[in-house]
């Protein structure tokens, strides 16, 4: 039984692979708790005397066979239970930034989930200080710029989100925005209208996961009720032509995560992922890793496997990388600098 030579994607040339790997990129959709590798989970569990439901790295990895978003989240929150001290948050974030830097990421806007930690008695100060110090040190060591986005867990109620924002206010200078993540179905964006209004009044940027699994109405609501400046995932927008038209006209960015979508069974495999169609429709889209330790790859594995499966060409990669900077919250002068650098790679 041979491969169907009409449909099998052609391997990427070494030159194109090198361009993809070395091209400067911004990563805008990465949950720092999702960068916690199984080995580090066990290291921190030992260091902090936390007991895990798995007795080895192998048995933990074997559980990474997800059916949907919720089946992943159950394991993801269990993994995060080993984070207790400032140093733990530091080590996790520094390891991510080192890896991201090795893959051409020059700027990262990093989600963190404070409620996952404060609910276990870990003070907000411990979480934010550990992460912030790692960003500062990695900035010096790798010349990577990075900032934090505080996410509210949507399976919890809005009062918990309001309390979380309040608790984070002494550290207002340490994060640039707020986001909305966790279990999407049944927890529409409008549930968080007041807390996003408050965040906006504080001058924070607003983003939200929407249309990962849930229908386009969730994306409309994120835009209309939360005034989200970016939509995280947003792949379900492809079901609503008027929404596609709106997103293209307004250049509202969608932070797409291809390997995540396949691992969480949003699409059966990368060859049917809509990213190429999204690009061709003029949407502002880019590639991100979401939870790289759980989904089989960091940003370059996402770029390379998507490029291969969807037969993306240099123009597509150039467009994706440029959108990553266009959609970022970095200063305009820095944006212009990186947009020119991307063009140089593909000149
Ligand atoms: N938290 C971590 N990863 C997530 C995802 N893919 N969707 C929603 N919440 C998340
Ligand atoms: Zn996400």
> Is the torsion defined by CA of 23, 24, 26, 31 positive or negative?
positive
Output the pLDDT for position 1. Answer: 41
**Which helix (H) or strand (E) segment is 223 a member of?**
helix 216-224
Output the pLDDT for position 9. Answer: 80
Q: List the Cα angle 306/308/309 in 5-degree steps.
A: 65
Pairing of β 145-153 and β 105-112: parallel
Instruction: State the ligand closest to the CA atom of 68.
Output: 1
Domain boundaries, the chain: 26-309
Instruction: State the ligand closest to the CA atom of 110.
Output: 2
pLDDT digits (tens, 9 = 90+) for 220-255: 999 999 999 999 999 999 999 999 999 999 999 999
Supply the residues annotated as catalytic.
212
Output the pLDDT for position 2. Answer: 43
> Is the torsion defined by CA of 128, 133, 136, 141 positive or negative?
negative
β strands within the chain, DSSP E:
25-31, 105-112, 145-153, 177-181, 205-210, 230-233, 254-256, 285-287
Q: Residue 212 CA: which ligand 1 atom is closest?
A: 7
In whole angstroms, what is the distance from residue 330 CA to residue 138 CA?
17
Q: Residue 257 CA: which ligand 1 atom is closest?
A: 6
pLDDT digits (tens, 9 = 90+) for 267-291: 999 999 999 999 999 999 999 999 9
Domain spanning 26-309, CATH class: alpha beta
Output the pLDDT for position 22. Answer: 97
Residue of minimum CA distance from atom 6 in ligand 1: 290
Compute the distance from residue 282 Cα to the ligand 1 centre, in Å. Answer: 26
In whole angstroms, what is the distance from residue 20 CA to residue 11 CA?
14
Residue 139, number of CB atoms within 10 A of its CB? 13
The first and second tokens of residue 65, run together, are 């066979």
33 Cβ below 6 A of ligand 1: no
């Amino acid at each position: 039984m041979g491969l169907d030579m009409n449909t099998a994607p052609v391997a990427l040339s070494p030159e194109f692979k090198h361009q993809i790997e070395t091209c400067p990129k911004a990563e805008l959709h990465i949950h720092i708790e999702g960068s916690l590798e199984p080995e580090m989970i066990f290291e921190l569990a030992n260091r902090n005397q936390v007991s895990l439901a798995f007795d080895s790295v192998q048995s933990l990895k074997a559980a990474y066979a997800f059916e949907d978003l919720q089946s992943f989240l159950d394991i993801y929150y269990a993994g995060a239970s080993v984070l207790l001290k400032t140093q733990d948050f530091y080590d996790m974030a520094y390891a991510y930034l080192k890896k991201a830097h090795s893959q051409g990421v020059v700027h990262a806007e990093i989600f963190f989930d404070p409620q996952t930690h404060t609910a276990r008695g870990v003070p907000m100060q411990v979480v934010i200080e550990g992460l912030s110090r790692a960003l500062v040190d990695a900035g010096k060591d790798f010349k990577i710029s990075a900032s934090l986005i505080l996410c509210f867990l949507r399976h919890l109620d809005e009062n918990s989100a309001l309390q979380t924002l309040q608790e984070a206010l002494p550290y207002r200078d340490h994060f640039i925005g707020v986001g909305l993540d966790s279990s999407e179905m049944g927890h529409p964006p409008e549930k968080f209208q007041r807390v996003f209004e408050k965040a906006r009044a504080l001058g924070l940027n607003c983003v939200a996961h929407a249309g990962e699994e849930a229908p386009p109405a969730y994306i409309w609501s994120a835009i209309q009720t939360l005034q989200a400046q970016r939509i995280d995932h947003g792949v379900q927008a492809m079901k609503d032509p008027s929404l596609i038209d709106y997103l293209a006209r307004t250049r509202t960015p969608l932070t797409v995560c291809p390997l995540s979508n396949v691992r969480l069974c949003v699409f059966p495999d990368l060859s049917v992922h809509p990213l190429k169609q999204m690009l061709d429709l003029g949407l502002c889209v880019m590639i991100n890793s979401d939870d790289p330790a759980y989904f089989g790859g960091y940003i370059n594995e996402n770029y390379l496997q998507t490029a291969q499966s969807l037969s993306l060409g240099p123009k597509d990669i150039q467009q994706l990388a440029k959108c990553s900077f266009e959609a970022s919250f970095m200063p305009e002068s820095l944006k212009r600098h990186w947009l020119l650098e991307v063009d140089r790679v593909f000149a």
